[in-house]
Structure 1
Amino acid sequence: MQDDQLGIEFHPMTRIEVKQYLNWFTDPVISARMFRPTETWVGYVLDGERPLAWVAYVGNAMVGHIQVEYYPEDVCSIALAVDPSLKRQGLGAKVLTKFVREYLSSLRVEAFIEADNVASRKTFEKAGFRQTTSAPDEDGMLKYVFPGASQ
């Protein structure tokens, strides 16, 4: 199904949605791969000048969480979590592609993914990201870049 048929919509995350997102951490993969939100994190991502945490919805269902970090020179990094009950349906790639095109198209968009996180690497590749490092960095991460407006 194409993302325009899915009707994926985005908005900045709210404190109520943080509580829903916390429920995803019962999933062992989410718990192992993502940082569990703390009050400090919530204040950082929700109370700044621009939204850093976003949610993706299909209808009334929150299906994804996206975090963006902005850097100088029109660069940002992005991270994604998908509702664990919706894994392996291609939804993550659709959410990523649509979000980057709608909200980050003027920026160089980077992602840093653990080398052993094959599912996430495939999701980002399916969304159009390209691996730009041949070996993991000192933290075990591989760098991916979306081929967008700012290369």
Structure 2
Amino acid sequence: MERSQEPHAAAARGAVEVSLRRFDLADVDAMMVWASDPQVAAVCRWEPYESTEPLLAYLRDTVLPHPWFRAICVAGGDDRPVGAVSVSPTADPCRAELGYVVARAHWGKGVATAAVKRVVATVFGEVEGLERVEALVDVRNAASQRVLEKAGFRREAVLRKYRVLKGDVRDMVIYSFISTDPLETQPITPSPAAVRQRAPMEVTLRRFELSDVDAMMAWASDPAVAAFCRWEPYESTEPLLAYLRDTVLPHPWFRAICVAGGDDRPVGAVSVSPTADPCRAELGYVVARAHWGKGVATAAVKRVVATVFGEVEGLERVEALVDVDNAASRRVVEKAGFRREGVLRRHYWHKGRVRDLVMYSFISSDR
């Protein structure tokens, strides 16, 4: 990743110019210059390469088939790559993740910044449906943070204990550049009187069973409940039963929410789903409309964070991504002790619209 230089040196030199092109197999020797350098690899997921054979395999099997992976070349040079930049698809077609690396001989010369500027100037026109390019940078990597800021990315949040990097659980800074960026409300809380008058809700969490399908139908068929969920309201129990059987029951951490002292019928569901990084998981929850505003979701989420870190090996962070317009759900996680980290712009494609999401987290040391 690029490092900084003294301000007077930067001012004395004109802006560097770079070109981006597709890689070919003949680039393997030029790639080896940075791919074998331990200092370059220090903040990357991969270890330094010791020979060209595995690097050639990576170039052939990963780089060449990648939808948007480019060689960085210094304009006026010999067209040999001095680095690489990629824009990788995510689970949501409206957003992709930026990655880049530059050979150490070109650190501090503006190469990475120039390359990233070229990316955002062209990629939105080349990738259909793309609305957001995001970058996740180790909180200690000040040089890479400067690259993004100089390229016009907006710093959105620090995501605590977000990624495992070479055996360490790291905090990451998330940046974004959205398609409308130029190239160069307080949460509502209940009144004190209402808080004093209502006793805390008590709930229990248990595993689902196939016999819960009729109880689930009470919320799964409700358009008001489904409004902020990815799924559409169910019209019959058959597809819901299939979802229960094929997705819910095999899920590593998916629980029915039951009101304590009731009949053990689920009034909602809460899940903690694995992500690409084993140190973090994503929270999801839903509650039947008859139980909105009664503290059921908050009580369930509190139970989750009280137990899940002891049940899921290696888990350090539970995160919740909440639609910016879903004030009720934001209140749930805030009352459950989650920390608001930032707003992720155009992060999520939801029922035909690109949405901003609020990122919340609860880490193992928050208990």
Q: Tell me the TM-score normalized by structure 2.
A: 0.36
What is the aligned counterpart of 1:143 among 353, 356, 359? 359
Structure 1 CA distance for aligned equivalents of residues 333 and 360 of structure 2: 8
Q: Which residue of 2 aligns with 1:56?
A: 257
Structure 1 match to 2:200: 2
Deviation at 1:88, TM superposition (A): 0.8
Q: Quick one: distance in 2 between partners of 1:64 and 1:24? A: 7
**Structure 1 Cα separation of the partners of residues 271 and 245 of structure 2:** 11
Letter of the aligned partner of 2:290 in structure 1? S
| d(CA) in 1 for partners of 2:281, 2:256 | 17
The gaps in structure 2 that reach 5 residues or longer are 1-198, 349-354
Q: Aligned-pair RMSD on alpha carbons?
A: 2.4
Q: Which has the higher contact order (CA 8 A, sep 6+)?
A: 1
Query: Which amino acid is the alignment partner of residue 119 of structure 1?
Result: A
Q: Distance in 1 between matches of 2:272 and 2:296?
A: 19
Matched residues, number: 145
The answer for the alignment partner of 2:226 in structure 1 is 31
Residue 246 of structure 2 corresponds to residue 43 of structure 1: yes
User: 1:78 aligns to what?
Assistant: 283
Distance in 1 of aligned mates of 2:325 and 2:303: 25
CA distance in structure 1 between the aligned counterparts of 2:362 and 2:299, rounded to whole angstroms: 14
Evaluate the alpha carbon distance shift between residue 109 and residue 42 of structure 1 in structure 2; reply closer, same or farther with a 3 A threshold.
same
Residue deviations 1:6-39 (CA, integer Å, cap 9, x gap): 3x22111122224321221343321212225753
Which of 116-125 and 31-40 deviates more? 31-40
Q: CA contact under 8 A between 1:75 and 1:109: conserved in structure 2?
A: yes
CA contact (8 A) 2:344 2:359 kept: no
The Cα shift of 1:56 comes to 1.6
8 Å Cα contact 1:108-1:149 kept in structure 2 = no
- Name 1:100's counterpart in structure 2: 305
Task: Deviation per CA, 1:96-138: give whole Å up to 9, x if none.
Answer: 1112212235531001111111111111111111221234342
Contact 1:93/1:126 (<8 A) preserved: yes
In structure 2, distance between residues paired with 1:137 and 1:97: 29
Q: Percent of aligned positions with the same letter in both sequences?
A: 21
- Cα–Cα, structure 1 residues 25 and 89, in superposed 2: closer, same or farther, change >3 Å? same
What SS does the corresponding residue of 1:88 show, helix, strand or coil?
A: coil
Task: Map 1:110-129; keep pairs closer than 5 Å.
Answer: 110-129=319-338
Find the residue that maps to 1:33 and give its secondary structure. coil
Does the alignment pair 1:65 with 2:281? no
Task: Find the residue that maps to 2:320 and give its secondary structure.
Answer: strand
Matching of residue 134 in structure 1 with residue 337 in structure 2: no
Partner of 2:188: none
Q: 1:47 to 1:73 in 2, by over 3 A?
A: closer
**Unaligned 5+ runs, structure 1:** none
Query: Scaled by the length of structure 1, what TM-score is found?
Result: 0.80
Other structure's SS at 1:145 match: strand
Give yes or no for contact 2:257–2:268 (8 Å, CA) kept in 1: yes
**Residues 309 and 316 of structure 2 are in contact (CA less than 8 Å); yes or no, is this contact kept in structure 1?**
yes
Shift of 1:40: 4.9
Query: Which AA in structure 2 matches 1:62?
Result: P
